[in-house]
Chain A
């Protein structure tokens, strides 16, 4: 379980308190400039914040400030920025090389990840030649290969076409079904609301609502907080098409 206590960052984030349970799918929503991406970067330890981010691992407490790379893995909105290797396979290996893993172990883990993300066909491709959706998939695989306890996703559907969105969403759902903890930021909440367990609404750097999606759905004045919901919550048919 990841716990965030009294987190402050400059004038952007104000007294953030929240808990992310293991295996949960949490959706963080809010208008542009509400501090969503900033909160993800604080959790990942990229920004110096005031407060605590701790992970409870079967009785052991790990401070994310000290070991953020073991606790969380953040996928940026612009996938290209996180890509380092000259081929997809080498890019996957990069994070593990930084952790000084054994070469043979890296090779095995890269093979496993290529297979589990169904990107074996991209193995020898240069990342610069991939489509937007493929790059996003590789960026998620890059982070997941390092086995973070919580996967943080910043606007994973940005700049993707319909099929790209569908493929990435299917991937996120399958990761969640495998038991991974997902913490996703988007302002396109309609696409994921029905799939998430928990919902957090951020406004001007403060959490204004948090709880189970099914409990909050009918209580939130969506239009008032600048978010639009058109279809019914249960409607996931477009994902199955």
Chain B
């Protein structure tokens, strides 16, 4: 199953476009009527060959939300919602999170940009820890994930955070 909102390494115009410009374009979607932006986004999705079919299973949740919005506020709002989701898919598909964080440096400052980069770099460790904790508990017969699961993850991650801080210092991070 392909993960949605994840980066794919391709060489298209949108992949090469400056992340800041892409972010501004995405934010501007909120202020432009959907019937202008939607066709452009669909065209962009076709150009970058966004694997919508592979994403379908993960997108069901958003489709349900779009239907609920349709029944509560009408089809205009529902289409606006779909447009925003599509723009998010295109942005994450064509922009590496680390590049986005780096490009924010002139706007938000070096320390903040580095903070975002290091947080993103920590995600695989967090996911791996969650999976290990889940499997160790499953191996001991636990069937349902409860609050104690979160407590355990937090405790393991806090233990690791000191180690990670020291490890980053060896990579010349002095902030």
Contact = CB atoms under 8 A, between A and B. Distances in A.
Interface of B is mostly: helix
Contacts of B118: 84
Interface stretch (A48-56, A70-78, A113-121, A168-176): A70-78
A82 interface: yes
Interface residues of B, number: 24
A105 B33 CA distance: 46
Interface in B127-175: 128, 160, 163-164, 166-174
Interface string A80-102: 11111110001000110011000
A44 interface: yes
B171 A82 contact: yes
A108 interface: no
A83 B172 contact: no
Given A98-B172, A98-B173, A81 B124 contact: no
B167 A81 contact: yes
Q: Interface extent on A, as a size class?
A: 20 to 34
A46 B169 contact: yes
Given A86-B96, A90-B98, A124-B9, A76 B170 contact: yes
Contacts of A127: 124
Contacts of B125: 80-81
A158 to B, nearest CB: 14
A146 B121 contact: no
Interface string B107-120: 00000000001101
Contact of B124 (A80, A99, A143): A80
A203 interface: no
Nearest to A46: B166
Interface string A182-203: 0000000000000000000000
Contacts of B172: 69, 94-95, 98-99, 146
A85 B125 CA distance: 13
Interface in A135-165: 142-143, 146
Interface string B83-105: 00000000000001110000000
Nearest to A99: B172
Contacts of A99: 172
Given A83-B121, A124-B9, A74 B170 contact: yes
A128 interface: yes
A84 B125 CA distance: 11
B167 to A, nearest CB: 4
A81 B117 contact: no
B120 to A, nearest CB: 8
**Residue of B7, B9, B118, B121 contacting most chain A CB atoms (<10 Å):** B121
B170 A82 contact: yes
Interface string A118-132: 000000100110000
A214 interface: no
B163 A128 contact: no
B170 A85 contact: no
A136 B7 CA distance: 25
B108 to A, nearest CB: 17
**Residue of B98, B118, B160, B170 contacting most chain A CB atoms (<10 Å):** B170
Nearest to A69: B172
B105 to A, nearest CB: 11
A44 B125 CA distance: 23
A41 interface: yes
B163 A81 contact: yes
Interface of B: 7, 9, 96-98, 117-118, 120-121, 124-125, 128, 160, 163-164, 166-174
Interface of A: 41, 44, 46, 69, 73-76, 78, 80-86, 90, 94-95, 98-99, 124, 127-128, 142-143, 146
